[in-house]
Amino acid sequence: MMNMFFTGRLILPLGLFAFSSQLHARGGERPNVIFILADDYGWNDLSCMGSKYYETPNLDRLAKHGVKFTNAYAACQVSSPSRASIMTGKYTPRHGITDWIGEKSGEAWRTMERHNKLLPADYTWNLPAEEYTLAECLRDNGYTTFIAGKWHLGEKGSWPEDHGFEINKGGWTNGSPKGGYFVPYQNPKLSDGPAGENLSMRLSNETVDFMREHKKRNKKKPFFAYLSFYAVHGPIQTTQENWNYFRNKAEKAGIKENGFVVDRTLPVRQTQDNPVYAGLIKQMDDAIGVVLDAVEEMGLDENTLIVFTSDNGGVTSGDAYSSSLLPLRGGKGRQWEGGIRVPLLMQYPGCTAGVVCDVPVIGTDFYPTILDFAGLSAVPEQHRDGVSLMPVVRDGKTPDRSLFWHYPHYGNQGGEPSSIIRRGDWKLIYYYEDQRCELYNLAMDISESEPLNIQYPEKVRELKTLLDAWLIEVDAKLPVADSEYNPLKEAQVKLTWRTAVLQKQEKLRKQMLSPDWKPNKDWWGSMVTID
């Protein structure tokens, strides 16, 4: 693995990263933690990660004042498993949630009429009660725990308040915003605000209100605020003002004739020029700015860790076909880098501003990192698949480990049942349909354009052996052959994806960029949803 930290083009010597020895300054208070999680937000869907189209001044501010990780990963290419791994510190096969909760598996998969070769593995539909979550651990160590936004880790009885959160504003069963991004929200854990209120801003305001009330009532007690946006999950929505601004921006940059290519299964977006999605990002970034401003105004920046990341890669195919993550291949639901690599920003007292970290890290690391930052004892029997990132950013220590993923399912974004290992710059994907491996070197080919199996057969064997051992260790459930598999019917489905769906997406892209486009008469209720 790379053992490098740099700001701009300057490589900084290890140890230069001053980690404040005054974590318990201000009268020995434990530090606060604000964890901001976006939904389906891509690796380069923000300005500080290279986007020239989306505008994220507040996330850029966080990157400027903190640490930006370029090799950060979600624990899964879809939502629920990744979120469960953040809460538990475990890889997905250990907690059992390997697909987004609500998706069909086993023989029920046949009702999707995709006629696939395999039946996806069954999975757990509720975050197990025996898991000692990050929220429970912090609560038990004197923290007030708060969530605003998406949960998607089970039915009632397995909601945030059942797993350590004392205050819950908006977290429940659903993984997408049932009522959209404007009132009415149709959320049993979040009352409706005034007409025109935006969901992302509402969740930020709830978080700020919590911080103000907490400071007033519990001056010495720390808090854990989990701001979990529903944005930028579909259905994508924005205001007419935002749409018009980003439509004009796309036009000035030059609108390409074609915006999609078919990659193995579904059409994949190749351009960042979706004005509705850009407006949705702006709404989320504006809301993040409200929280960052409040942190500074209340003086909490002197004693608060702020983390921002995403639960999986951005949506390039399926759902709303929202974005392009080039040079990364694929997106949400897929096994390539676009599906699992995510943005990660961290700001904390004493960190060196504007640092870029290339060390590969993963969502299971947050649990031990936060405990380490808070000065709390580790719980290794719980967060067994994570390591603290504080030695990484403090001392430049690179963990000697492999990273793993297991997704024994078909994704509605084109993903295939597979397991993955990354070790150093090498990445191996194993496909369950045909027992095939793909080997890539991410330092040489970040786009995963050409497998290196023939050139490096010994590396394939090495990584496959490590992956097999890990699958046994975690008792991973595997997909099984479907006895009713019909290859002709499957071919017909894929032909439709490559022709009719491709044509539909190209048409919609042009319509959304047309000056007279209107999704419906009521922009507050405007929805863009695609089959």
Write out the DSSP string of 192-226: --STT-BHHHHHHHHHHHHHHHHHHH-TTS-EEEE
Neighbours of 299 (CB within 10 A): 11
Low-confidence ranges of the chain (pLDDT < 70): 1-28, 521-531
Residues in CB range of 257: below 8 A, 6 or more apart: none
What is residue 16's predicted lDDT score, i.e. its pLDDT?
A: 34
What is residue 528's predicted lDDT score, i.e. its pLDDT?
A: 57
Q: What is the pTM of this model?
A: 0.94
What is residue 531's predicted lDDT score, i.e. its pLDDT?
A: 36
Give me the phi and psi of 100, to 5 degrees please: -65, 135
* Spatial distance between the Cα atoms of 14 and 475, rounded to a whole number of angstroms: 38
- Which amino acid, residue 482? D
CA distances from 31 to 24, 102, 204, 298, 486 (A): 7, 37, 20, 14, 58
* Spatial distance between the Cα atoms of 478 and 270, rounded to a whole number of angstroms: 32
Alpha helices (runs of H) in 375-478, residue ranges in sequence order: 390-395, 457-473
* Spatial distance between the Cα atoms of 404 and 93, rounded to a whole number of angstroms: 10
What is residue 26's predicted lDDT score, i.e. its pLDDT?
A: 42
Burial track 499-524 (b if 16+ CB lie within 10 A, e otherwise): eebbeebeebbeebbeeeeebeeebb
* Spatial distance between the Cα atoms of 345 and 343, rounded to a whole number of angstroms: 7
Supply the CATH classification number for the domain 30-399+482-514. 3.40.720.10
CA distances from 514 to 45, 251, 252, 319, 441 (A): 23, 9, 13, 21, 41
Query: For tokens 């990050």, what's the residue?
Result: 134
Neighbours of 281 (CB within 10 A): 32
What is residue 63's predicted lDDT score, i.e. its pLDDT?
A: 97
Handedness of CA 513, 519, 525, 528 (dihedral sign): negative
What is residue 447's predicted lDDT score, i.e. its pLDDT?
A: 98
What is residue 522's predicted lDDT score, i.e. its pLDDT?
A: 61
Give me the phi and psi of 260, to 5 degrees please: -135, 150
Give me the phi and psi of 461, to 5 degrees please: -65, -40
